């Protein structure tokens, strides 16, 4: 059997009375001497025989002491070849999927078979021959160095060592396209995004075989990821705060080095109403803080006014407010160029629900030379306002001096 060892034995009969005779044995196939020459051993061991080793074998016995040579009859030996069996086709990378531009290796193997084996590779169901190789091995490879989309097909192989070809099963090759650079877009409810808006960030690679894994970045921080099992793009929704202002990008990956989109900037603004509320709160706080002393100083005047009003009877007739009585300014030499003097005078109350108070505003100048002129025409510079408030029939309307 091909592929196995073979032992050749040369036998010769000698008379018993001559056991000390020296003999050399030689082995031949057809006319070719085998081994390294004649030896004293009657056996020749051949480690592995092949079909080509088939032929006529014979031997010679040379009796050295008698110079006598004996030749055997020829023996016809046919070395049988083991037919190939269990032919299979595998791919590298495994799984039958290869990225466009990569290398594809089709590996054809046989479980058994001896001698030289011829391997064939075919594409498509009609069997377009791609390659043929003959070698003494159980495995052979065919390589497509640069895979293209047209290489997405069915493949099979065959093996033959003289007993007829044996075929493998069909295997389908899928050629995948690497992702192109994705595009990141914003879908907003308005032209200018504000706090509280929900913005949709859509990332999509125009080209690439699924599945595609997408990742969203703000600067270099991953905000989320999403898988598109059937291709296309994915969307990420954000409810905006001021912290969402910044630079965004996305990444697409389908097994090859990932592709990153260009950076897109998102600006989130605070709504005008909300901004003014913040501003008003601050201003009101400062105003109230500044008005504290004014309110504190105004309270004694209110009590004094009530005392004056309380002394008048409810039956007094209404009369016109008294004319203002200008007074000289106490701040004539103060650092300010002008001082505003305010004078208060209560007036009669109607027998109704209102109390009236008259307030004078007198503008005084610092220049002593102009004082006399100012005092002469002070009535032209006097303005007055009348303030009123509702009266309540309670203890606050009683004269405080009487109450004391």
pLDDT value of position 126: 82
Say which CATH number the domain at 254 has.
2.60.40.10
Residue 27 CA to residue 12 CA, distance in Å, equals: 13
Question: For residue 40, is it within any domain?
Answer: yes
pLDDT value of position 68: 85
Question: For residue 43, is it within any domain?
Answer: yes
Question: For residue 205, is it within any domain?
Answer: yes
- The total domain count for the chain is 4
Closest-CA residue to 307 (of 352, 273, 236, 355): 355
Domain extent for 49: 6-77
Are 133 and 226 members of one domain?
A: no
Choosing from 176, 198, 232, the residue where a domain stops is 176
Question: For residue 201, is it within any domain?
Answer: yes
Cβ contacts of 180 within 8 Å, gap of 6 or more: 205, 206, 207, 208, 252, 259
Neighbours of 94 (CB within 10 A): 7
Are 325 and 391 members of one domain?
A: yes
Each residue's pLDDT, cut to its tens digit, for the chain (404 residues) gives 888 899 999 988 876 656 677 889 999 999 999 998 899 999 999 998 988 899 999 999 998 877 888 999 999 999 988 999 999 999 999 998 999 999 999 999 999 998 899 999 999 988 899 999 999 999 999 999 999 999 999 999 999 998 899 999 999 999 999 999 999 999 988 888 899 999 999 999 999 999 999 999 999 999 999 999 999 999 999 999 999 999 999 999 998 889 999 999 999 998 766 544 443 444 343 333 333 433 333 334 344 334 434 444 434 433 444 444 444 333 333 334 444 454 445 554 444 555 555 554 454 444 444 444 444 443 444 444 444 444 444 433 444 344 34
Are 345 and 262 members of one domain?
A: no
Q: How far apart are the first and last CA of the chain?
A: 142
pLDDT value of position 195: 93
Are 73 and 92 members of one domain?
A: no
Question: For residue 290, is it within any domain?
Answer: no
Choosing from 149, 176, 203, the residue where a domain stops is 176
pLDDT value of position 280: 41
Strands (E), 54-102: 55-63, 68-71, 75-77, 88-92, 97-99
Handedness of CA 30, 35, 37, 39 (dihedral sign): negative
Are 39 and 69 members of one domain?
A: yes
Residue 164 CA to residue 185 CA, distance in Å, equals: 62
Closest-CA residue to 215 (of 185, 249, 241, 242): 249
Q: How far is CA 256 from CA 100, 163, 176, 177, 196, in A?
A: 10, 45, 10, 9, 38
Choosing from 132, 153, 176, the residue where a domain stops is 176
Question: For residue 284, is it within any domain?
Answer: no
Residue 379 CA to residue 373 CA, distance in Å, equals: 11
Report the run of H or E that residue 199 belongs to, with start and end: strand 198-204
Query: What's the pTM?
Result: 0.54
Question: For residue 82, is it within any domain?
Answer: no
Question: For residue 280, is it within any domain?
Answer: no
Are 306 and 341 members of one domain?
A: yes
Helices (runs of H) and strands (runs of E) counted in the chain? 3, 28
55-63 and 68-71 strand pairing: antiparallel
Are 307 and 398 members of one domain?
A: yes
CB 30 within 8 A of CB 65: no
Q: pLDDT digits over 291-305, tens only?
A: 343 333 333 434 433
């Amino acid at each position: 059997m091909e592929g196995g060892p073979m032992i050749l034995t040369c036998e010769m009969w000698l008379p018993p009375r001559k056991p000390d005779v020296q003999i050399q044995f030689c082995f031949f196939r057809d006319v070719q001497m085998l081994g390294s020459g004649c030896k004293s051993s009657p056996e020749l061991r051949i480690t592995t025989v092949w079909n080509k080793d088939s032929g006529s074998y014979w031997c010679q016995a040379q009796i050295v002491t008698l110079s006598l040579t004996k030749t055997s009859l020829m023996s016809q030996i046919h070395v049988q070849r083991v037919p190939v069996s269990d032919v299979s086709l595998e791919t590298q990378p495994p799984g039958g999927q290869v990225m466009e531009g990569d290398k594809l290796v089709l590996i054809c193997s046989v479980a058994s078979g001896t001698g030289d084996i011829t391997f064939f590779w075919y594409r498509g169901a009609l069997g377009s021959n791609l390659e043929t190789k003959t070698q003494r091995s159980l495995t052979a490879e065919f390589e497509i160095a640069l895979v293209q989309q047209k290489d997405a097909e069915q493949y099979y192989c065959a093996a033959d060592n003289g007993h007829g070809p044996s075929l493998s099963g069909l295997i389908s090759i899928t050629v995948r396209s690497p992702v192109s650079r994705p595009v990141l877009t914003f879908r907003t409810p308005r032209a200018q995004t504000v706090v509280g808006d929900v913005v949709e960030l859509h990332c999509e690679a125009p080209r690439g075989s699924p599945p595609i894994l997408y990742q969203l970045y703000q600067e270099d921080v991953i905000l989320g990821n999403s898988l598109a099992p059937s291709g296309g793009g994915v969307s990420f929704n954000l409810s905006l705060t001021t912290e969402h202002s910044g630079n965004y990008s996305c990444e697409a990956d389908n097994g090859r080095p990932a592709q990153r989109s260009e950076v897109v900037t998102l600006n989130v603004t605070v709504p005008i109403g909300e901004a003014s509320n913040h501003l008003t709160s601050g201003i009101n706080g400062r105003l109230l803080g500044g008005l504290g002393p004014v309110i504190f100083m105004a309270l004694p005047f209110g009590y004094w006014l009530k005392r004056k009003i309380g002394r008048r009877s409810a039956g007094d007739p209404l009369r016109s407010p008294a004319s203002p009585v200008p007074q000289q300014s106490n701040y004539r030499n103060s650092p300010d160029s002008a001082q505003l003097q305010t004078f208060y005078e209560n007036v009669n109350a109607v027998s109704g629900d209102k109390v009236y108070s008259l307030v004078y505003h007198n503008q005084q100048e610092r220049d002593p030379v102009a004082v006399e002129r100012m005092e002469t025409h002070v009535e032209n510079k006097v303005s007055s306002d009348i303030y009123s408030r509702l009266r309540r029939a309670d203890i606050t309307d009683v004269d405080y001096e009487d109450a004391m």
